[in-house]
C-alpha cells in the first residue's frame, strides 16, 4: 500500500519487511521496522517505543518540591536535565526567583551534561556504526600515529608505541575468542569505509573517552553530590558557597572551584583535540553517505536554554537558541510559546494511550496519560510475541507531540538549524567553519552525519560556555554574593491554592518541557514532553510521520539483514527511550 | 438496702472473698505492693522523659553554638536520655512482668483480660454507662475497674511492648550488625523494609502513649473525687480505702 | 570452564606487565578494604581463575546503573570490560542489534551454561502481560526468566532490580516487580542505590572473581561489606548532629558551615549505603557533602516515604498524607477536648447530685 503523508513522504509497505528489535546502543527499549524495495532502499519506516513506566501517573499527588527527583529518574543518561526542567516548572508555578549564583551553577551543570552526553554518545553509542574495531588490527601503528598528528597536532597521545600498545591489547582481546561487546557486529559489511589506521585511531579514542567521561561527570558530583542523578533544589541549588570563612569543608570553597575549573579545561581540550577532529576525519571518509536528513531541513524546534541572567528566559538572553522552523522555510524562525494551547499538543491515535476520543490533541497542561495496550488487526504474531507491528493502529508507547500540527525534529541539529537560520553568531561561525573545512555545501547539514557533526560542534561551544559561566560565578562571589538559594516560598503555606507552571531546557537530545499543575500544595497534573518523544514519535491523527521514521526513509541498505544503516541514522538522534515514554 | 453475704453474687471484678469481707467493713485493702508502686512511678517518669526526648529527636530544638562540635553534645545528650530512659523502662517492664508471677493477684490484672468471664463484661458495660453519665452510682473496685484494665492492657502492656520492640530495633541500627540487639530486633527492620517506616511508627506510638497518659491521669483524679474509693493515694501507699460500706 | 583463559592470561596477552598486574591487584585489595597481605592472594586468584562471562539485561529502568558502572575509576570501566569479565550481552554497549544481538545472547547462554553471571538492571513489569517492557517482541520478564535459568548467580543492580524503584512507586501502574520476586531459585545479590556507586558495583564483581564466592550478604541480600552500615554512622557531619547543630533552612549560615542536614530531611540515619565512606565519582563528593540531604536512594520504597525534605515524614504506608505528629496531635486534641468536656459534665453532675442530696437531706430533716 502506498500512502502520501501530509509532511511529504511516500510510504510503501509492499516490499520486504526488516525488523530490528532490540535496537541497541541506545537508552531504553526500542523496535524499528522498515520495508525495503528490490534495491534495498527503505520505503516505509516504523519506530516503536517499547517501554513505559508511568512517571506522570506516579507524580500525581506528590510534593512538587520532590518532583525533580522523580523526573530525574526518567533517565540516567541525560541525568539532571529533567531535574532542572522540573525545578524550573515548579519555580514558574510558584513565582520563585533564583539567585545569580544558582543560575551560573545550574548552567555549568547543564552544559556539563551536554558535553558528557555528547562525548559518550559519539564514542560509545554511535562510533561502532562507522568504526570497525576488528579492522583496526590491520593498522600500521606508525601510520596511525602520523594520521593522529595530522588531524590533531595538539593531542599528546599520538606516538606509534602508544597505538601499538592499544592495538596489542585489542588483538589479544579479539584472539581470545571472547569478543564481548564486539560479538556479532557487522564487521564484514561493506558499509564500513574507514582505513585500518582511522579505525585504530577511533577505537583508541573510544577508550580515552571512556576514561575521560568519568572525570567530566565530576562537576555534577561537586555541585550535586553524585553522578548519575545529582541533587537539585527548588529555589536555587543545594550547595552553599563559602570561600572565605571557617567551616567551608562542606560548601563550595576554593578547592572545589579549582577542581571544577580543571575539569572544564579538560573538556575544552578533549573537544578541541579529539572529538571534533575525529568527527571531521571520520566524516571525511563518509562524505558521500548523505542519507538521513528526514525532517531536519523541514521542521525543527528548539526552546532555547542557558540563560545569561537568572529568571530571564527571553530568547535574546539565551545562549542556546529558541525558535521553530516549518515547511522547510529557513528564512522564517517562528516564536515558540510553550504556554499557548494552540502550539504544543500531544496526540495518541497511534500510541498506546487513550484520550476517550480519536483525533484529539491535548496541550500538556491538560494532558492525560492513560495507558492502553492494544495491537492492530494486521499485526503478525501474538499479543506477547510480536513478529510484525501494525502501524495503521496503535503501535508505540511514545505519544506524538506536534507543534502547530507539525511533526518536528529536535536536538543538536535542530538547535543548530534554528541558530543558523536566526543568525546566531557563534553557531553560524562554527557551522560555516566546519563546512569550509570539509568542503561541503550547507545542504550537507541535513543528514545523519550533519546531526552527528552538530553534536560535536555543540559540545565544543558548550565547553566554552561552561568556562564563561564558571568565570561569571567566581566574579559574582568576588563581588560579595555567596547566596545560592531563595527560600522565601519554600513552605507550602506560602503557595497559591492552585497554580500552573512550565519549565524548559535544551536537553542533550533536544527541547524538553515539563508542565505542572499544583493544587493545594500537591501535584494535580504533571506532563513531560521529551526530546525523544518528538523525534521518536509515531504517526499522528493526520498521518504525519515522526523524525526517526522520516530520517530512515529512502536510505539504501547494503545488506538488509545487517541493519548498519538503520543504526547509523537512528543513533544520530541519540535515541533515549526511557525519556521518550517516561 | 440489704447486704448480700454470698461473695459470688457480688460484682467487683477481681475481688476475693476476703476483699469483699473487707469492703463490707468499709476498711482499706492492700492492693499495690511496694514493687508495683515503685515501678509505677519510675515507669511514669521514664515515659515522660521518653516522650519529651522522643519528640525532640523528631523535631530538634534550634541549633546552638556552645562549644566546638565534638565537645558540644546537646543532641547526643537528648538521645542519650532517651535511650537511658528506654532501657530503664524496658528493665522495669521486665521486672513488672516478673512481679505479675510472684506478686499478689492484683498484679496480674494489667496483663490478662478475663474476657471469658461474663460478669466481667457486665461490669465493663456498667463502667461504660458510668462514664457516659447513664449510671448514677459508681461501683467499687479493689484492683482496676474493668475499663481501666482494658486501657492498661492495650495502652500499656501492648503499647509499651510495641515501643520497646520498635525502640530496640531502632537502637540496633546504631549499635550495628552483629550486635545482640540487631540479632533480636534487626529482622523486624528488614521485614518492615525501610527504617524510615520504623521511625514513623515508633513516633506514632509516642502519641498513643501520650493519649493514654491524658486519659489515665484524668480518670485517676476524677475517680478519686467521684468514685467510692481512693485512687491517687492508693498508688502511693498501696492501700485502697473505701468511702462507704456497700459491697458493689 | 577450563577452555576459558584466566584473567591473568588475558592481561598478559594484552601486553600488561607483571608489575602493573601486581599494582592492579594491590589497588583491588585497597578498594575492597583489604590489607597488603591480601595482594598475593588476589594475584593468585587472578592467575588461576578464568574470565567470567557476564550477561547484562535491562528491564524498566533509566540506565543510570550502566552509566554509573562506566564511571568506575578503580578498576577503570575499560579494564573491566576488556580484561576482567566478558560482557557478552549489554544493550547499552554491544555493537550488534536485533537478531544478531539475540543470537549473541543465545550463544553465551549455551556456551557458559551454569557459569555466567546475570546482571539485571531494571525490573520486569507484570501488568498488560508484561508488555510495558518489550524485548524482541516479547515481554522482558520472559527474557529474564530465560537467562536466569542457567545463570550461576544474579546481581540485581540498583534500586530498580532490588526493590522496584521509581516505576514501582505508588500506584505502580505497570506492576514493576523486583527481580527476587520473579526469580526464586538462584542466589541473588542486591546492589541497591539509585544508582549504586561505581566502585561498589565493580567491588562486588572483583570480590566474586577474587575469592570465587558470593559476598557475604545481610538479611536483605545486600553485600554486608558495602551496605552494613548507615550513611549516618560514618557521616563526617555527625559531630554537628550530636552537637545539635543543624542547617535550619537552605543556604543559611549553618549550611555554609557544613552543619548536619537532619532538619532539612536527611535520610542518612535510615539509609544503608557506602556513600559517606567510598563517596561518589572517584571519591569526589557525596550528596551530603554537596549540601543536599540523603534521599535514601538505596532503601526499599524510598519514593513512598513522604517528602524528601521532612524529618518526620508522612505515614504514606497507611495511605495517610500526614505525619505522626499531625495525626497524634489531632488525636490528642480530640481526646483532650473530650476530657475537658467530660470533666465539665462530671462537675455539673456532681454539683447537681450534691444539691439533690442537699434537697433530700433537707426534706428528711
Ligand atoms: C514510651 C516509650 C517511647 C516513646 C514515647 C518514644 C518516642 C520516640 C520518638 C518520638 C522518637 C523519634 C522518632 C523519629 O521521629 O525519628 C524516638 C526515637 C527513638 N527511640 Fe524511642 N520512644 C520510646 C521508647 C523507646 C525505647 C524503649 C527505646 C529503646 C532503647 C527507644 C529507642 C529509640 C531510638 C533508638 C530512637 C531513634 C533515635 C535516633 O534516630 O536518633 N525508644 N522515640
Ligand atoms: C506516664 C505516666 C503514667 C503512666 C505510664 C502510668 C501507668 C500506670 C499503670 C500501668 C498502672 C497500672 C499499675 C498496675 O496495675 O501495676 C497505673 C495505675 C495507676 N496510676 Fe498511673 N501512670 C502514670 C501516671 C500517673 C499519675 C501522674 C498518677 C496520679 C495522678 C497516676 C495514678 C495512678 C493510679 C491512681 C493508679 C491506680 C489505678 C487503679 O487503681 O486502677 N498515674 N498507672
Ligand atoms: N530524550 C531525552 Fe533525555 C535527553 N537528552 C531528556 O530530556 O535522554 Ni535520556
Ligand atoms: S535504580 Fe535508579 S538509577 Fe538504577 S536504573 Fe533504576 S532508576 Fe535508574
Ligand atoms: S547530615 Fe545526615 S547522615 Fe550526616 S550526620 Fe546529619 S543526619 Fe546524619
Ligand atoms: S541519596 Fe543515595 S547516593 Fe547515597 S547519600 Fe543517600 S544513599
Ligand atoms: Mg509525557
Rounded to an integer, what distance in angstroms lies between the CA atom of residue A572 and that of residue A232? 30
Cβ–ligand 3 distance for A530 under 6 Å, the answer yes
Ligand with the closest atom to the CA of B164: 1
pLDDT the model gives residue B8: 43
In this prediction, residues C289-306 reach a mean pLDDT of 97
Average pLDDT over residues C125-138: 98
User: pLDDT-derived band of residue B15, with 50, 70 and 90 as boundaries?
Assistant: confident
Confirm or reject: Cβ of A49 under 6 Å from ligand 3. Answer: no
Compute the distance from residue B178 Cα to the ligand 6 centre, in Å. Answer: 23
Of ligand 6's atoms, which has the minimum distance to the CA of residue C197?
A: 3
For ligand 5, what atom is nearest to the CA of residue C288? 1
Cβ atoms of A115 and A545 closer than 8 Å: no
B58 to C242: CB separation less than 8 angstroms, yes or no: no
Say which of A52, A215, A240 has its CB closest to residue C256: A240
A527 in helix, strand or coil? Answer: strand
Phi, psi of C261 (to 5 degrees): -95, 15
Which numbered atom of ligand 4 lies nearest the CA of C68?
A: 3
Residue A289: phi and psi, rounded to 5, are -90, 80
Pick left, alpha or beta for residue B72 (phi over 0 → left; psi -120 to 50 → alpha; otherwise beta).
beta
For the domain covering C231-346, report its CATH number: 4.10.480.10
At C152, which helix (H) or strand (E)?
Answer: strand C151-157
Place of cell 438496702: B1
pLDDT tier for residue C48 given thresholds of 50, 70 and 90: low
| A–C CB contacts, 8 A cutoff, strictly below | 339
| Ligand 5 site, residue C261, Cβ cutoff 6 A | yes
Q: What is the pLDDT of residues A403-428, one digit of tens each?
A: 999 999 999 999 999 999 999 999 99
Closest CA to A28 of A407, A447, A451, A570: A570
Considering every ligand atom shown, identify the ligand nearest to the alpha carbon of residue A582 and give its number: 7
pTM: 0.94
Decide whether any atom of ligand 3 lies within 6 Å of the A547 Cβ. Answer: no
* Res B6: pLDDT: 42
**Helices B159-175, B74-102: crossing angle, 10 deg rounding:** 130
Q: Which chain C residues contact residue B194 at CB under 8 A? A: 270, 296, 299-302, 305
Q: What is the pLDDT of residues C222-255, one digit of tens each?
A: 999 999 999 999 999 999 999 999 999 999 999 9
**Residue C365 — very low, low, confident or very high, per pLDDT cuts 50/70/90?**
very low
- CA–centroid distance, residue C265 to ligand 5 (Å): 9
Ligand 5 centroid to residue C231 C-alpha, Å: 7
**Nearest by CB: C242 against B73, B194, B203:** B73
What is the C-alpha separation between A410 and A532, in angstroms, rounded? Answer: 8
pLDDT of residue A555: 98
A383 contacts: CB under 8 Å, gap ≥ 6? A375, C129, C131
DSSP H or E segment with residue A528 = strand A522-529
CATH class of C7-226: alpha beta
Fold of B3-242: Fumarate Reductase Cytochrome B subunit (1.20.950)
- Ligand 2 atom with the smallest distance to the CA of B45 is 1
Which residue's alpha carbon is at the smallest distance from atom 42 of ligand 1?
B167
**Min Cα separation A79/chain C (Å):** 8
Q: Is the ipTM of this complex over 0.90?
A: yes
Query: CB within 8 A of B6, min separation 6: which ones?
Result: none
Residues 6+ apart with CB under 8 A from A358: A349, A541
Q: What pLDDT does C47 receive?
A: 62
Which 3 state secondary structure label does DSSP give B229? strand
What pLDDT does residue B5 have?
Answer: 41
- Cα–Cα distance for residue pair B136/A430, rounded to 1 Å: 96
Say whether A29 and C134 touch across the interface (CB within 8 A): yes
B117-124's contacts with Cβ under 8 Å and 24+ in sequence apart are B119/B11, B120/B13, B120/B146, B122/B11, B123/B11, B123/B13, B124/B150
- Any idea what DSSP says for residue A129? G
The C-alpha atoms of residue C106 and residue C23 are separated, in whole angstroms, by: 36
Q: What is the DSSP secondary structure assignment for residue C81, as one 8-state letter? A: I
Query: How many angstroms separate the CA atoms of A375 and A395, rounded?
Result: 7
The 8-class DSSP code of residue C311 comes to S
Q: Are A296 and A569 in contact (CB under 8 A)?
A: no
- Cα of first residue to Cα of last residue in chain B, in angstroms, is 12
The SS3 of residue C120 is strand
Ligand number with the minimum distance to the CA of B235: 2
Q: In the prediction, which pLDDT does B51 show?
A: 98
Q: Closest by alpha carbon to C195, among C115, C81, C273?
A: C273
Phi then psi for residue C240, to 5 deg, are: -70, -35
- Closest CA to ligand 4's atom 6: C160
Judged against a pLDDT cut of 60, whether residue C3 lies above it is answered with no
Residue identifier of the C-alpha nearest atom 2 of ligand 4: C194
pLDDT for res B19:
79
Answer yes or no: is the C-beta of C294 below 6 A from any ligand 6 atom.
yes
Rg of chain A over Cα atoms, rounded to whole angstroms, equals 24
Distance (Å, rounded) from C-alpha B225 to C-alpha B230?
8
Q: CB of A173 within 8 A of CB of A136? A: no
Q: Do B177 and C313 touch (CB under 8 A)?
A: no
Which residues on chain C are in Cβ contact (under 8 Å) with B179?
A: none
How many angstroms is it from A544 CA to the middle of ligand 6? 44
Q: Taking CB atoms and an 8 Å limit, are C195 and A228 in contact across chains? A: yes
Statement: residue B1 has pLDDT above 60: no
Angle at B34 between CA B32 and CA B38, to 5 degrees: 100
CB proximity A98 to C under 8 Å: no
Contact C300 B174 (CB under 8 A): no
Q: Which ligand is nearest to the CA of A116?
A: 3
Q: Would you state the torsion angle of the CA atoms of residues B169, B171, B172, B174, taken in this order, to the nearest 10 degrees?
A: 140
Specify the residue for cell string 530490528.
A20
With a 6 Å cutoff on the Cβ, whether C265 touches ligand 5 is no
- Measuring CA to CA, which residue among C316, C164, C168, C295 is closest to residue A55? C168
Here the cell at position C267 is 535520610
Q: Which residues pair with B52 in a beta bridge?
A: none
Residue of C nearest to A209 (CA): C78
**Helix or strand holding residue B119 (H, E):** helix B118-131
Asked, as a colleague might, if the bond just before B16 is cis with ω within 30 of 0, I would say no
Name the percent of chain C lying above pLDDT 70: 89
Could you give the residue ranges of the DSSP H alpha helices within chain C? 7-13, 18-31, 39-48, 64-70, 77-79, 98-111, 140-149, 158-163, 198-211, 224-227, 238-243, 253-256, 324-364
Q: Do B196 and C302 touch (CB under 8 A)?
A: yes
When CB atoms are compared, the residue of C218, C270, C332 closest to B194 is C270
A578 inside 8 A of chain C by CB = yes
Same topology, domains C7-226 and C231-346? Answer is no
Question: B14 or B240: whose pLDDT is higher?
Answer: B240
Q: Which ligand is nearest to the CA of C64?
A: 4
Please tell me whether residue C123 adopts helix, strand or coil conformation.
Answer: strand
* CB contact at 8 A, B43 and B49: no
Chains that touch C (3 or more CB pairs under 8 A): A, B
Average pLDDT, chain C: 91
Quick check: helix, strand or coil at residue A513? strand
Inspect the interface and report whether the beta carbons of C104 and A28 lie closer than 8 Å. no
State which residue of chain A sits closest to C194, comparing Cα positions: A229
Coil, strand or helix: which one is A396?
strand
CA gap A303, A89 in Å, rounded:
14
Task: At C176, list the grid cell.
Answer: 514493576
CB A143 within 8 Å of CB A197: yes
The pLDDT confidence band at residue B10, using thresholds 50, 70 and 90, is: low
- The residue among C224, C284, C230, C216 whose CA lies nearest residue C262 is C230
A542 Cβ under 8 Å from any chain C Cβ = no
Output the CA A538–ligand 7 centroid distance in Å. Answer: 14
Q: Give the distance (Å) from ligand 4 centre to CA of residue A465.
A: 30
- Within 8 A by CB and 6+ apart from C351, the residues are none
Q: For chain C, which residues make up each domain, given as ranges? A: 7-226, 231-346
Sequence length of chain B is 248
pLDDT in tens, chain A (582 residues): 899 999 999 999 999 999 999 999 999 999 999 999 999 999 999 999 999 999 999 999 999 999 999 999 999 999 999 999 999 999 999 999 999 999 999 999 999 999 999 999 999 999 999 999 999 999 999 999 999 999 999 999 999 999 999 999 999 889 888 999 999 999 999 999 999 999 999 999 999 999 999 999 999 999 999 999 999 999 999 999 999 988 777 799 999 999 999 999 999 999 999 999 999 999 999 999 999 999 999 999 999 999 999 999 999 999 999 999 999 999 999 999 999 999 999 999 999 999 999 999 999 999 999 999 999 999 999 999 999 999 999 999 999 999 999 999 999 999 999 999 999 999 999 999 999 999 999 999 999 999 999 999 999 999 999 999 999 999 999 999 999 999 999 999 999 999 999 999 999 999 999 999 999 999 999 999 999 999 999 999 999 999 999 999 999 999 999 999 999 999 999 999 999 999
Q: pLDDT by residue (tens digit) across C140-150?
A: 999 999 999 99
CA A499 to chain centre: 30
Asked if B63 lies within 8 A of C329 by C-beta distance, the reply is no
**Lowest-confidence region among B7-11, B107-111, C137-141:** B7-11
How does C35-64 read in b/e, with b if 16+ C-beta sit within 10 Å? eeebbeebbebbeebbbbbbbbbbbbbbbb
* Per-residue model confidence as pLDDT tens digits over A364-413: 999 999 999 999 999 999 999 999 999 999 999 999 999 999 999 999 99
Task: Using the predicted structure, report yes or no on whether residue C101 has a pLDDT greater than 50.
Answer: yes
What's the grid cell of residue C150? Answer: 542457567
pLDDT confidence band for C40 (50 / 70 / 90): confident
C293 lines ligand 6 (CB under 6 A): no
Average pLDDT score over residue span C79-95: 95
C-alpha B39/C-alpha B32 separation (Å) is 10
Helix (H) or strand (E) holding B168: helix B159-175
| Residue among B170, B174, B192, B208 to mutate when testing ligand 1 (max atoms within 8 A of CB) | B170
- Chains contacting A (3 or more CB pairs within 8 Å): C
Q: What is the pLDDT of residues A115-129, one digit of tens each?
A: 999 999 999 999 999
**C315 contacts in B (CB within 8 Å)?**
200, 204
Q: Looking at residue C362, what is its pLDDT? A: 62
CB contact under 8 A, B206 and C350: no
Residues with CB under 5 A from ligand 7 (ion): A 528
Mean pLDDT value across residues C313-338: 92
What is the per-residue pLDDT across A429-456, written as a single tens digit (0 to 9) for each? 999 999 999 999 999 999 999 999 999 9
Model pLDDT, residue C13 = 62
* Distance (Å, whole) CA C177 – CA C122: 9
Amino acid at each position: 500500500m502506498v500512502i502520501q503523508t501530509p509532511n511529504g513522504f511516500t510510504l510503501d509497505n509492499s516490499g520486504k519487511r526488516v525488523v530490528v528489535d532490540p535496537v541497541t546502543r541506545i537508552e531504553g527499549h526500542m523496535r524499528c521496522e522498515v520495508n525495503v524495495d528490490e534495491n534495498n532502499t527503505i520505503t516505509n519506516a516504523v519506530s516503536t517505543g517499547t517501554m513505559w513506566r508511568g512517571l506522570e501517573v506516579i507524580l500525581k499527588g506528590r510534593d512538587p518540591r520532590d518532583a525533580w527527583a522523580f523526573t530525574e529518574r526518567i533517565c540516567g543518561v541525560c541525568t539532571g536535565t529533567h531535574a532542572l526542567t522540573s525545578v524550573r516548572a515548579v519555580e514558574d508555578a510558584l513565582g520563585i526567583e533564583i539567585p545569580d549564583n544558582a543560575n551560573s551553577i545550574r548552567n555549568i551543570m547543564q552544559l556539563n551534561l551536554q558535553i558528557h552526553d555528547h562525548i559518550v554518545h559519539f564514542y560509545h553509542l554511535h562510533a561502532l556504526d562507522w568504526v570497525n574495531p576488528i579492522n583496526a588490527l590491520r593498522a600500521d601503528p606508525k601510520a596511525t600515529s602520523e594520521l593522529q598528528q595530522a588531524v590533531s597536532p595538539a593531542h599528546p597521545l599520538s606516538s606509534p608505541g602508544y597505538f601499538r600498545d592499544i592495538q596489542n591489547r585489542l588483538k589479544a582481546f579479539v584472539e581470545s575468542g571472547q569478543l564481548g561487546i564486539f560479538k556479532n557486529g557487522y564487521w564484514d559489511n561493506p558499509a564500513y569505509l574507514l582505513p585500518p589506521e582511522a579505525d585504530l585511531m577511533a577505537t583508541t579514542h573510544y577508550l580515552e573517552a571512556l576514561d575521560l567521561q568519568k572525570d567530566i561527570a565530576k562537576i555534577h558530583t561537586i555541585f550535586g553530590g553524585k553522578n548519575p542523578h545529582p541533587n537539585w533544589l527548588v529555589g536555587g541549588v543545594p550547595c552553599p558557597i563559602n570561600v572565605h570563612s571557617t567551616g567551608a569543608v562542606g560548601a563550595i570553597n576554593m578547592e572545589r572551584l579549582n577542581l571544577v575549573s580543571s575539569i572544564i579545561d579538560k573538556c575544552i581540550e578533549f573537544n578541541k583535540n579529539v572529538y571534533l577532529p575525529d568527527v571531521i576525519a571520520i566524516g571525511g571518509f563518509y562524505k558521500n553517505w548523505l542519507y538521513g536528513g528526514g525532517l531536519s531541513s523541514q521542521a525543527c524546534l528548539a526552546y532555547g536554554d542557558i540563560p545569561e541572567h537568572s529568571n530571564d528566559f527571553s530568547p535574546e538572553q539565551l545562549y542556546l537558541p529558541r525558535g521553530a522552523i516549518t515547511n522547510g522555510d529557513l528564512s522564517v524562525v517562528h516564536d515558540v510559546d510553550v504556554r499557548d494551547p494552540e502550539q504544543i499538543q500531544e496526540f495518541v491515535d497511534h500510541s498506546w494511550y487513550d484520550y476517550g476520543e480519536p483525533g484529539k490533541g491535548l496541550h500538556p497542561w491538560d494532558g492525560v496519560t492513560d495507558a492502553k495496550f492494544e495491537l492492530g488487526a494486521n499485526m503478525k504474531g501474538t499479543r506477547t510475541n510480536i513478529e510484525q507491528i501494525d502501524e495503521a493502529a496503535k503501535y508505540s508507547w511514545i505519544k506524538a507531540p506536534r507543534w502547530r500540527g507539525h511533526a518536528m525534529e529536535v536536538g543538536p541539529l535542530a538547535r543548530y538549524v534554528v541558530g543558523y537560520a536566526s543568525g546566531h553568531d557563534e553557531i553560524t561561525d562554527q557551522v560555516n567553519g566546519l563546512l569550509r573545512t570539509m568542503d561541503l555545501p550547507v545542504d550537507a547539514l541535513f543528514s545523519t552525519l550533519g546531526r552527528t557533526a552538530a553534536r560535536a560542534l555543540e559540545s565544543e561551544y558548550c565547553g566554552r560556555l561552561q568556562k564563561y559561566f564558571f568565570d561569571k560565578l567566581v566574579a559574582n562571589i568576588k563581588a560579595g554574593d555567596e547566596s545560592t538559594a531563595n527560600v522565601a516560598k519554600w513552605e507550602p503555606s506560602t503557595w497559591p491554592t492552585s497554580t500552573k507552571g512550565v519549565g524548559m531546557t535544551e536537553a542533550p537530545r533536544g527541547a524538553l518541557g515539563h508542565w505542572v499543575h499544583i493544587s493545594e500544595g500537591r501535584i494535580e497534573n504533571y506532563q513531560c514532553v521529551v526530546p525523544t518523544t518528538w523525534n521518536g514519535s509515531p504517526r499522528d491523527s493526520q498521518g504525519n510521520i515522526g523524525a526517526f521514521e522520516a530520517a530512515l526513509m529512502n536510505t539504501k541498505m547494503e545488506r538488509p539483514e545487517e541493519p548498519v544503516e538503520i543504526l547509523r541514522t537512528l543513533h544520530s538522534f541519540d535515541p533515549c527511550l526511557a525519556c521518550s515514554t517516561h | 438496702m440489704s447486704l448480700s453475704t454470698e461473695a459470688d453474687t457480688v460484682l467487683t471484678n477481681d475481688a476475693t472473698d476476703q476483699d469483699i469481707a473487707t469492703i463490707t467493713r468499709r476498711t482499706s485493702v492492700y492492693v499495690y505492693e511496694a514493687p508495683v508502686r515503685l515501678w509505677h512511678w519510675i515507669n511514669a517518669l521514664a515515659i515522660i522523659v521518653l516522650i519529651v526526648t522522643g519528640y525532640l529527636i523528631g523535631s530538634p530544638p534550634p541549633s546552638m553554638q556552645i562549644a566546638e562540635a565534638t565537645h558540644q553534645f546537646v543532641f547526643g545528650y537528648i538521645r542519650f536520655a532517651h535511650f537511658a530512659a528506654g532501657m530503664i523502662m524496658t528493665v522495669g517492664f521486665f521486672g513488672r512482668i516478673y512481679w505479675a508471677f510472684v506478686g499478689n493477684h492484683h498484679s496480674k490484672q494489667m496483663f490478662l483480660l478475663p474476657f471469658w468471664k461474663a460478669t466481667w463484661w457486665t461490669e465493663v458495660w456498667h463502667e461504660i454507662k458510668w462514664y457516659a453519665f447513664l449510671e448514677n452510682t459508681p461501683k467499687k473496685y479493689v484492683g482496676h475497674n474493668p475499663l481501666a484494665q482494658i486501657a492498661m492492657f492495650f495502652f500499656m502492656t501492648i503499647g509499651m511492648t510495641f515501643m520497646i520492640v520498635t525502640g530496640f530495633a531502632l537502637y540496633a541500627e546504631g549499635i550495628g550488625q552483629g550486635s545482640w540487639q540487631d540479632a533480636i530486633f534487626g529482622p523486624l527492620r528488614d521485614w518492615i523494609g525501610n527504617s524510615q517506616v520504623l521511625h514513623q511508627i515508633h513516633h506514632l506510638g509516642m502519641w498513643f502513649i501520650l493519649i493514654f497518659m491524658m486519659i489515665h491521669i484524668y480518670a485517676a483524679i476524677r475517680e478519686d473525687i467521684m468514685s467510692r474509693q481512693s485512687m491517687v493515694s492508693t498508688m502511693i501507699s498501696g492501700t485502697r480505702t473505701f468511702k462507704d460500706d456497700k459491697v458493689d | 570452564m577450563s577452555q576459558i583463559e584466566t584473567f591473568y592470561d588475558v592481561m598478559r596477552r594484552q601486553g600488561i606487565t607483571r608489575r602493573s598486574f601486581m599494582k592492579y591487584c594491590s589497588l583491588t585489595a585497597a578498594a575492597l578494604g583489604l590489607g597488603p597481605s591480601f595482594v598475593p592472594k588476589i594475584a593468585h586468584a587472578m592467575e588461576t581463575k578464568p574470565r567470567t562471562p557476564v550477561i547484562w539485561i535491562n528491564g524498566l529502568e533509566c540506565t543510570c546503573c550502566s552509566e554509573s558502572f562506566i564511571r568506575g575509576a578503580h578498576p577503570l570501566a575499560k579494564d573491566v570490560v576488556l580484561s576482567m569479565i566478558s560482557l557478552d550481552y549489554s544493550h547499552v554497549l554491544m555493537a550488534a542489534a536485533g537478531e544478531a544481538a539475540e543470537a549473541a545472547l543465545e550463544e553465551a547462554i549455551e556456551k557458559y551454561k551454569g557459569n555466567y553471571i546475570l546482571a539485571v538492571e531494571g525490573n520486569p513489569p507484570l501488568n498488560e502481560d508484561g508488555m510495558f517492557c518489550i524485548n524482541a517482541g516479547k515481554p522482558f520478564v520472559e527474557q529474564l526468566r530465560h537467562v536466569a535459568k542457567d545463570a550461576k548467580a544474579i546481581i540485581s543492580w540498583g534500586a530498580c532490580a532490588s526493590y522496584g524503584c521509581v516505576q514501582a512507586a505508588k500506584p505502580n501502574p505497570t506492576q514493576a516487580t523486583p527481580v527476587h520476586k520473579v526469580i526464586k531459585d538462584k542466589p541473588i545479590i542486591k546492589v541497591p542505590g539509585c544508582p549504586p556507586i561505581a566502585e561498589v558495583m565493580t567491588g562486588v564483581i572483583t570480590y566474586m572473581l577474587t575469592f570465587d564466592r558470593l559476598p557475604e550478604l545481610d538479611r536483605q541480600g545486600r553485600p554486608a561489606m558495602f551496605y552494613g552500615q548507615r550513611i549516618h554512622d560514618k557521616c563526617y557531619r555527625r559531630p554537628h548532629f550530636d552537637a545539635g547543630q543543624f542547617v535550619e533552612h537552605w543556604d543559611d549560615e549553618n549550611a555554609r558551615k557544613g552543619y548536619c542536614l537532619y532538619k532539612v530531611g536527611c535520610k542518612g540515619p535510615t539509609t544503608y549505603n557506602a556513600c559517606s565512606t567510598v563517596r561518589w565519582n572517584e571519591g569526589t563528593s557525596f550528596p551530603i557533602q554537596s549540601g543536599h540531604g540523603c534521599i535514601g536512594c538505596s532503601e526499599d520504597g524510598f519514593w513512598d516515604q513522604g517528602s524528601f525534605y521532612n524529618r518526620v515524614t508522612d505515614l504514606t504506608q497507611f495511605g495517610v498524607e500526614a505525619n505522626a505528629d499531625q495525626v497524634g496531635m489531632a488525636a490528642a486534641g480530640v481526646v483532650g477536648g473530650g476530657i475537658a468536656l467530660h470533666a465539665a459534665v462530671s462537675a455539673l453532675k456532681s454539683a447537681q447530685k450534691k444539691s439533690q442530696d442537699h434537697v433530700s437531706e433537707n426534706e428528711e430533716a
